[in-house]
Amino acid sequence: MSRRTDASSVPDLVERARAGEARAVARLISLVEDESPLLREVMAALAPHTGHAQVIGITGSPGVGKSTSTNALVSELRKQDKRVGVLAVDPSSPFSGGALLGDRVRMQDHALDRDVYIRSMASRGHLGGLSWTTPQALRVLDAAGCDVILIETVGVGQSEVEIAGLADTTMVLLAPGMGDGIQAAKAGILEIGDLYVVNKADRDGADQVRRDLRSMLQLAERPEGAWRPPIVKTVAQKGEGLDEVVAEIDQHREWLTASGELEKRRTRRARDEIEAIAVTALRKRWGDVHGRSELDDLAAAVAAGETDPYAAADELLDTFAD
């Protein structure tokens, strides 16, 4: 397939992606990552075919076995004959902005499976652990017929909790011997996890991590009827415990649907996506005036003490009021 894509070819590209053609899916995601001018046409064509996939976020500190766990989880989901998409958000190269780890060599068990689509995306320095284009890539995989989409993030830390806003179910991985009990409290992941997985459970200290985590979760105040995150032990490298993980994910999906939380989460996700697109467009417009924007001029005035930032913000917004 030619790399050249124009507006007239978008409907055909979308139809081929919906039919499961991997190259068409890859091309659509490339259009997303490249911020193509065709994105409006692409998203309009995809919209009627989205909203069906179950989105699962996978996060945790480096070294806990996220890629291995993702690989094992794909295997377990394929046993249920589910079509699976994987977005692995990698650290960005400071030179190219591209993903350093390619398509995750540890996931090559599924490379020849037509019902598994794996794609690495660069975080491009985004602190949330996710690329800002990830929501659009999700739409592509959703429209392409994936039953489940797994998003594996760079890691977890003070700023890297965006996964909770993008996923239906957020799975947090921990492992013994890494101080994860303390890190869990520090990083704020007690607020974002729907399911906690203690991986490498065949190592000493796994039961202690589980006890520490359970104690901290019990301290969290939760309203009546709220979801109580379970804790599951796994040895992903051996495929142990993944059936229980899938069972807990299914239980959470049932709770989300029954409680109305699924609709709330997806509406919140769409709102954040709209806001990100709008803010990006505004920033571009501010920077398009003769190489120097109104924003630059107002910033200089604020720095010089000639005006205050609130008045400057009002003036900037007034330029778009018409």
DSSP classification of residue 109: G
Position 88 scores a pLDDT of 86
Place of tokens 């910033």: 299
Residue 311 sits at the vertex; the CA angle it makes with 308 and 322, to the nearest 5 degrees, is 155
**Residue 163 buriedness (CB in 10 A; 0-12 / 13-18 / 19+):** buried
Along the 322 residues of the chain, how does pLDDT read in single tens digits? 445 666 678 999 999 999 989 999 999 999 988 888 898 999 999 999 999 999 999 988 888 888 899 999 999 999 999 999 999 876 544 333 344 344 445 566 777 788 999 988 765 544 444 556 888 899 999 999 999 999 988 665 544 567 778 899 999 998 998 765 555 555 566 778 999 999 999 999 999 989 988 888 888 788 888 999 999 999 999 999 999 999 999 999 999 999 999 999 999 988 988 888 887 777 777 665 445 567 788 889 999 999 999 999 898 888 776 5
Please give the distance of CA 75 from its chain centroid, rounded to a whole number.
20
Please give the distance of CA 108 from its chain centroid, rounded to a whole number.
21
Tell me the two tokens of residue 194. Answer: 């729907």
Position 7 scores a pLDDT of 67
Position 166 scores a pLDDT of 87
Strands 231-233 and 84-90: unpaired
- Round to whole Å and give the CA distance between 311 and 302: 9
Find all residues with CB under 8 Å of 211, minimum gap 6, and list them: none
Nearest-CA neighbor of 209 among 184, 186, 176, 172? 176
Q: Is 239 left (phi over 0), alpha (psi -120 to 50) or beta?
A: left
Find all residues with CB under 8 Å of 56, minimum gap 6, and list them: 73, 148, 149, 150, 151, 167, 168, 169, 170, 171, 249
State residue 181 phi and psi, 5-degree precision: -60, -45
Residue 121 one-letter amino acid:
M
CATH of domain 51-259: 3.40.50.300
- Round to whole Å and give the CA distance between 181 and 184: 5
Position 84 scores a pLDDT of 96
* H/E element, 90: strand 84-90
- Round to whole Å and give the CA distance between 27 and 212: 45
Residue 197 sits at the vertex; the CA angle it makes with 272 and 144, to the nearest 5 degrees, is 45
- Round to whole Å and give the CA distance between 314 and 310: 6
Distances (CA, A) of 138 to 28, 66, 238, 300: 11, 19, 29, 39
Position 124 scores a pLDDT of 52
Position 305 scores a pLDDT of 93
Position 112 scores a pLDDT of 76
With H, G, I as helix, E, B as strand and everything else as coil, classify residue 20: coil
Tell me the two tokens of residue 106. Answer: 């540890």
Position 195 scores a pLDDT of 96
Q: Give the domain ranges of the chain.
A: 1-49, 51-259, 271-318
With H, G, I as helix, E, B as strand and everything else as coil, classify residue 100: coil
Place of tokens 């993702």: 70
